[in-house]
Amino acid sequence: MAMDTHIQRGLRHLRKSDPILREVIRKAGPFRLNLRHDRFHALALAIVSQQISGKAARSIWEKLKVVADPLSAERIRQLSVDELRLAGLSRQKASYLVDLATHVFEGRLNLNRIGRLSDDAVIESLIEVKGIGVWTAQMFLIFSLGRLDVLPHGDLGVRMAIQRLYGLDELPDRETCHRIAEPWRPYASIAAWYCWRSLE
């Protein structure tokens, strides 16, 4: 079944199952999921972007593409941490990129076949890489693999949106997020996307 058909089915489901989300969907307009097809780039960019502003991340990313040209697992493995730091990376992030490249190059992380795994198995295989945690793995599931039923319960934006939309006194914990998201299943990714939009 085509992705668009799944998305339309998901939107119908969310409108029907959650009146609060129905109003968010009405205000926010069409759902757009721009998939990042280069899976290695998606993970490398996620590492680069951790705990810095979007502007700073873009600047470092552009420099990294020059330092490690062409930007690939094989090329990054040829560079030292100090060479990677020329792009503006911290020593820690440079070492994370080397670890990612090594996992991919040695076949311990097969990005060509990862789309065949279950959501949980994708997360398990990604968090073996230094610098990749559950949140990054969930973002990869949504924005690289197009999985439609991922609830990034640790994401601050999603938690803030749930607090605001559902009138909670404090930021929801994991259990509360999952309880509120139960009617969204199996389209939690689409709901999360609208949670982010609701904050704009």
Does the annotation count 155 as an active-site position?
Answer: yes
Tokens of 181: 């998201």
Q: By C-alpha distance, which of 157, 140, 160 is closest to 193?
A: 157
Does an H or E element contain 104, and which? helix 91-105
- For residue 3, the model assigns a pLDDT of 84
Q: How far is CA 186 from the centre of its chain?
A: 18
Does this model's pTM top 0.85?
A: yes
Cα separation of 144 and 141, whole Å? 6
Would you list the domain boundaries of the chain? 3-33+150-198, 39-143
* Ranges of the chain with pLDDT below 50: none
C-alpha gyration radius of the chain: 18
- For residue 78, the model assigns a pLDDT of 95
Cα separation of 5 and 69, whole Å? 38
3-33+150-198 CATH choice from 3.40.1280.30, 1.10.1670.40, 1.10.3720.10, 2.120.10.30: 1.10.1670.40
Q: Encode 172-189 in three state secondary structure.
A: CCHHHHHHHHHHHCCCHH
- For residue 1, the model assigns a pLDDT of 62
- For residue 109, the model assigns a pLDDT of 97
- Identify the active-site residue in 18, 99, 149, 155: 155
In this structure, what are the phi and psi dihedrals at residue 110, rounded to the nearest 5 degrees?
A: -95, 100
**Domains 3-33+150-198 and 39-143 belong to one CATH topology:** no
**Number of C-beta neighbours around residue 153 at 10 A:** 22
Cα separation of 13 and 7, whole Å? 10
According to CATH, the topology of domain 39-143 is Endonuclease III; domain 1 (1.10.340)
